[in-house]
Amino acid sequence: MTADIAGISGAPGAGSVRPTRRRLLLLAAGAVFLLDVATKALAVGMLEPGRAVPLLGNWLACELTRNSGAALSMAADRTVMLTVVVLSVAAAIAWIGTHVRSPWWALGLGTILGGAAGNLVDRFFRAPGPLRGHVVDFLAIGPMPVFNIADLAVLAGVVWLIALSLSGFPFNGAARDPGPHAGS
């Protein structure tokens, strides 16, 4: 039995199985990762710690900080544990990505994966050392905690996946289920 007959090639007429969207997931992850690493390098090279540079009045500023914890500086004394958790989540998303068939889910998962990878690079390669590195944050919006592109990408990806789930967009890329009352 060939792949086309079995319906696993994803070619037209190959049955109901749609192609995976690994490439799209990896492109989204790569774009977020590169943008995060580049903006962190600019921030470290151009900003002084503790000195805010206003961009849009008091609403948006660049302010270089180092964060040993998670979002909102939670669990700052648990940096190694956070690194292991984020590494596990990134590995799970990479594995799930081998099965994703919806382009919308691939974009959401790729955005989260790219953000996680960007912050993991800091955890592994920044001071004070491997698994304990502090994440570079540099974007400040009003009174909110300072964050970076990776944090923004993870948040956007999670919100996107929740919206897809609530809207009924399936992970497998199949047509949306119109619900039990369709056609009644």
Give the pLDDT confidence of 110-165 residue by residue, as tens digits. 999 999 999 999 999 999 999 899 999 999 999 888 999 999 999 999 999 999 99
- Specify the amino acid at residue 135: V
* Identity of the amino acid at 46: M
Domain boundaries, the chain: 19-166
- C-alpha angle 90/73/117, rounded to 5°? 20
pLDDT given for residue 39 in this prediction: 98
Least confident of 2-16, 33-47, 122-136: 2-16
Whether residue 177 is predicted with pLDDT greater than 70 in this model: the reply is: no
Query: Each residue of 50-74: pLDDT tens digit?
Result: 899 999 988 999 999 999 887 766 7
Work out the percent of the chain whose per-residue pLDDT is above 90. Answer: 66
Higher pLDDT, 56 or 179: 56
Residues written for the chain: 184
Q: For residues 158-178, give the mean pLDDT.
A: 85
pLDDT of residue 38: 98
The residues annotated as belonging to the active site are 137, 151
